[in-house]
């Protein structure tokens, strides 16, 4: 059992996802439960795997079909992606639970909830696969699963969603194709698709042009998927119009795992000693800096809660790219920590957004006046997560920023620190503006669609509350226990990536 964990983490939810339509045909309720159960099982297994990797102290390899790499497909679970997998599985399970009150709202269409859960589960599967795999082409396949699931979940959202989804489809396909081109160039130079093998064989490649072009393709391809600054066009609309309950997952982790993949390519496959690595780091750094400032400034302009969060994501993805651009241990540690912490922050914030929509149909921050009286738990979660986004201690956001700043100063890149500081302050402006509206705005009359009086004094259904509180708890736990995470990834990063 324990040595099958890497694949079981993916196969169990896969079984759930493909059987969900069949089960729902007889009982939609059980179809839903299947998916939620499968995702929770996957989460439990991912935690077991995390412990396992920690105990072994070296990467776990799993060979699909028993073919040893590079002939077959290999899963490699090391310190970094064990954390990623646990994160994705946790958010997947939480989001599945979170969605169930939203999907009850349409009882007419029997297939509706089945399809929704199936797609949601596939999104989780794709992300889990992307983080587990050690094969460049396999990553492409998983990326396509993620994208397709993303298109679906975005398209079934609000009225404007189909256009957003369609644009994402077009850009996303270009991105995926660029990624595929990049893999193609690398394949043409090395003749292999296995990442570890590719890294070894790339050292013998003398023709630098092909590596440069491959790198450019990969940056563009993964940049589109992670909404890195000049390639972010699809992101704000997609994140603000997506299906309310799935939005947390889309916004939270769909743009993080490509970032992780980028990290893999930059530090695992390409050798740090390559002559153009410095230039690549600079270019990524410029993109990151522009993204951070652009996202933060643009978020100031909007009053729609989701739009603010979406633009702030562009900035936060910039943080992650900045970590890669810094490129030393603390930079990478900061980036990885930020992937995890921002995933929980953004997921949590979108949970609050969805909860506000669920209870009061609130979309604009102007309507938030005095909502905290009616939804204290949601408001408290919002405050916690937003403070973490701003980067205030003792929440997780501060510590990822700490490592990024540490790395930047170690490299003497004071400019990056200035950008981090500026971005925190801009973030403070738009989040404290929300706080002001939430706590000090004028009360507006709204129809309560889940009146607490009728539900035993509960502010929201428990299935919404639990993920909300989990996200907040995770942020605090990650903040206070960040050195555990860093210690966990330290060995991997130092040995494998910066060797």
Partner 1 sequence: MIDVLEIFLAEKGIYMLTFILMGLGIFGMIVCGNYMKKIICMNIMQVAIIFFFLTLGQKDGGTLPVLVHNLTSAEEYINPLPHALMLTAIVVSLGTTGVALALLMKIKEIYGTIEEEEITGKRWKK
Partner 2 sequence: MIIESLRPLAAVAVSLLAAVLIMICGNRVKPDVREGITLGAAVIKALLVFSMVPAVLAGNEYYCSPWEIVDGISLAFRTDAAGMVFACVASGLWIVTSIYSIGYMRGHHEKNQTGYFAAFAVCLSSAIGIAFAANLITFFIFYEMLTIATYPLVSHYRNDSAKASGRKYLAYTLISGQLFFAAIVTVYVKYGTLDFRAGGFIEAGSMGQTAMLLLFILMLGGGAVKSGLMPLHGWLPSAMVAPTPVSALLHAVAVVKAGAFCVLRIVWFVFGAESAAWCGGGRLLTWLAAATIILSSLIAMRKDNLKARLAYSTIGQLSYIILGIGILAPYSVTGAAFHIVAHAFLKITLFMCAGAIYVTTGLSEISTMGGLFKRMPVTCVCFTAASLGIAGLPLLAGFVSKMNIIRGAFMENKLFFVAVLVAAALFALSYLIPVVRIFFGKEISSPVINEGGEASPAMLVPIVITAVVSFILGVMPNAGPQLYNLAVMAAQGGGPIG
Partner 3 sequence: MDKVKVIGVIVIIAGVITAGFVMGDFLPAIGDINSAPNGYLSVYYITNALHDTEAPNMVTAVLADYRGFDTLFETCVMFLAGVTTLMVLSSKRKVVKGKRNEHDLNGVSFGGTVLDTGFRIIIPVIVIYAFYVLSHGEISLGGGFQAGALLAIAYMIDRLIPSFQNSLGNFTEEAAAIIAGLGVFIYAFTGVLPMFNGGYFLEYDHLPFAFMTEEIVMLHSVGIFMIEAGVTVCVMGTIINILEVVLERTEFDD
| Residues near partner 3, by CB under 8 A | 4, 7, 11, 14-15, 18-22, 25, 62-67, 70-73, 109-112, 115-116, 118-119, 122, 125, 129, 137-138, 141-142, 144-145, 148-149, 151-152, 155-156, 162, 165, 185, 187-193, 201, 207, 209-210, 213
Q: Residues near 200 by Cβ (< 8 Å), separated by ≥ 6?
A: none
- Two tokens, residue 285: 């750094």
Is residue 115 a contact residue for partner 1 (CB under 8 A)? Answer: no
Residue 127 interacting with partner 1 (CB under 8 A): no
Smallest distance from partner 1 to CB 274, Å: 22
CB 198 to partner 2: min, Å: 30
42 or 192: CB nearest partner 1: 192
Determine which residue in the list 11, 15, 141, 494 makes contact with partner 1, applying CB under 8 A.
141
Taking the C-alpha atoms of residue 97 and residue 192, their distance in angstroms, rounded to an integer, is 40
Q: How far is the CB of 177 from partner 3 (least distance, A)?
A: 15
Kindly tell me which of 152 and 407 has the beta carbon lying closer to partner 3: 152
Q: Tell the smallest beta-carbon distance from residue 133 to partner 3 (Å).
A: 9
Structure tokens at 446: 């709204």
Chosen from partner 1, partner 2, partner 3, none, partner binding at 169 (C-beta under 5 to 8 Å by type)? partner 1
Q: How far is the CB of 398 from partner 2 (least distance, A)?
A: 8
Cβ 161 to partner 1 shortest distance, Å = 9
- Rounded to the nearest whole angstrom, what is the least distance from the CB of residue 434 to partner 2 in the complex? 13
Tell whether residue 188 is a contact of partner 1 (CB under 8 A). Answer: yes
Is 144 a residue that touches partner 1 (CB under 8 A)?
yes
Nearer to partner 1, 136 or 368 (CB): 136
Interface with partner 1, residue 173, by CB under 8 A: yes
3-state secondary structure 161-226: HHHHHHHHHHHHHHHHHHHHHHHHHHHHHHCCCEHHHHHHHHCCCCCHHHHHHHHHHHHHHHHHHH
Chosen from partner 1, partner 3, partner 2, none, partner binding at 29 (C-beta under 5 to 8 Å by type): none
Return the exposure string of 90-123: e unless at least 16 CB atoms fall within 10 Å of the residue's CB, then b. Answer: bbbbbbbbbbbbbbeeeeeebebbbbbbbbbbbb
Shortest Å, Cβ 486 to partner 2: 5
Q: Write the burial class of residue 333 (CB in 10 Å: 0-12 exposed, 13-18 middle, 19+ buried).
A: buried
| CA proximity to 226, closest of 351, 323, 133, 328 | 323
Dihedral sign computed on CA atoms, order 160, 253, 321, 147? negative
Q: What DSSP assignment string belongs to 329-346?
A: HHHHHHHHHHHHHHHHHH
70 binds, among partner 1, partner 3, partner 2, none (CB under 5 to 8 A by kind): partner 3
Q: Which two tokens stand for residue 70?
A: 């590079």
d(CA 479, CA 214) in angstroms, rounded, equals 37
Q: Which does 52 bind (CB under 5 to 8 A by kind): partner 3, partner 2, partner 1, none?
A: none
> What count of other Cβ atoms lies within 10 Å of the Cβ of residue 417?
16
Concatenate the DSSP letters of all residues of 90-150 into one string. Answer: HHHHHHHHHHHHHHTT--S-HHHHHHHHHHHHHHHHHHHHHHHB-BHHHHHHHHHHHHHHH
For partner 1, the closer of residues 49 and 194 by Cβ is 194
Looking at beta carbons only, is 152 or 407 nearer to partner 2?
407
CB of 70 to partner 3, least distance (A): 6
- Positions that interact with partner 2 (CB under 8 A): 330, 333, 376, 380, 387, 392-394, 398-399, 401-403, 405-406, 409-410, 417-418, 420-421, 424-425, 428, 432, 436, 439-440, 480-483, 486-487, 490
How many positions of this chain bind partner 1 (CB under 8 A)?
Answer: 26
Decide: helix, strand or coil at residue 14: helix
Per partner kind, with CB cut-offs from 5 to 8 A, the member of partner 3, partner 2, partner 1, none near residue 483 is partner 2
User: What is the residue whose two structure tokens read 């079909």?
Assistant: 65
Closest-CA residue to 421 (of 289, 248, 241): 289
């Amino acid at each position: 059992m324990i040595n099958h964990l890497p694949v079981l983490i993916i196969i169990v939810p896969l079984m759930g996802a493909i059987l969900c339509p069949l089960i729902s045909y007889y009982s939609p309720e059980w179809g839903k439960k299947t998916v939620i159960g499968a995702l929770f099982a996957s989460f439990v297994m991912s935690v077991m795997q995390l412990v396992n990797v920690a105990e072994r102290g070296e990467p776990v390899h799993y060979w699909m079909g028993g073919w040893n790499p590079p002939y077959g497909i290999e899963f490699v679970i090391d310190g970094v992606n064990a954390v990623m997998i646990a994160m994705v599985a946790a958010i997947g399970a939480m989001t599945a639970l979170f969605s169930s009150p939203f999907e009850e709202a349409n009882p007419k269409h029997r297939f509706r909830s089945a399809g929704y859960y199936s797609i949601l589960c596939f999104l989780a599967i794709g992300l889990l696969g992307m983080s587990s795999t050690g094969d460049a082409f396999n990553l492409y396949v998983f990326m396509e699963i993620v994208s397709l699931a993303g298109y679906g979940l975005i398209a079934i959202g609000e009225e404007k969603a189909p256009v957003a989804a369609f644009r994402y489809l077009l850009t996303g396909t270009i991105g995926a194709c660029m990624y595929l081109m990049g893999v193609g160039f690398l394949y043409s130079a090395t003749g292999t698709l296995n990442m570890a093998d590719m890294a070894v064989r790339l050292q013998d490649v003398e023709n630098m042009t092909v590596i440069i072009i491959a790198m450019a393709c990969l940056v563009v391809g993964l940049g589109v998927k992670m909404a890195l600054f000049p390639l972010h066009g699809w992101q704000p609309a997609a994140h603000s119009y997506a299906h309310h309950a799935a939005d947390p997952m889309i916004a939270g982790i769909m743009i993080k795992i490509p970032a992780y993949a980028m990290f893999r390519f930059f530090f695992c496959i390409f050798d740090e000693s390559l002559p153009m690595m410095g230039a690549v780091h600079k270019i990524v750094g410029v993109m990151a800096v522009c993204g951070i400032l652009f996202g933060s400034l643009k978020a100031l302009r909007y009053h729609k809660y989701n739009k603010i969060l979406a633009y702030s994501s562009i900035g936060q993805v910039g943080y992650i790219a900045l970590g890669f651009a810094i490129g030393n241990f603390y930079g990478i540690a900061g980036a990885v920590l930020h992937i995890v912490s921002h995933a929980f922050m953004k997921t949590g914030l979108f949970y609050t957004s969805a909860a506000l929509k669920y209870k009061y149909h609130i979309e604009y921050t102007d309507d938030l006046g005095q909502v905290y009286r009616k939804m204290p738990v949601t408001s408290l979660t919002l405050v916690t997560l937003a403070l973490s986004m701003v980067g205030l201690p003792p929440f997780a956001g501060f510590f990822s920023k700490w490592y990024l700043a540490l790395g930047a100063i170690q490299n003497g890149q004071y400019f990056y620190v200035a950008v981090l500081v500026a971005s925190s302050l801009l973030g403070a402006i738009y989040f404290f503006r929300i706080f002001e509206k939430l706590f000090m705005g004028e009360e507006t009359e709204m129809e309560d669609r889940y009146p607490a009086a009728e539900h035993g004094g509960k502010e929201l259904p428990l299935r919404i509350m639990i993920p909300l509180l989990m996200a907040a708890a995770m942020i605090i736990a990650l903040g206070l226990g960040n050195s555990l995470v860093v210690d966990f990834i330290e060995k991997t990063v130092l040995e494998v990536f910066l060797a």
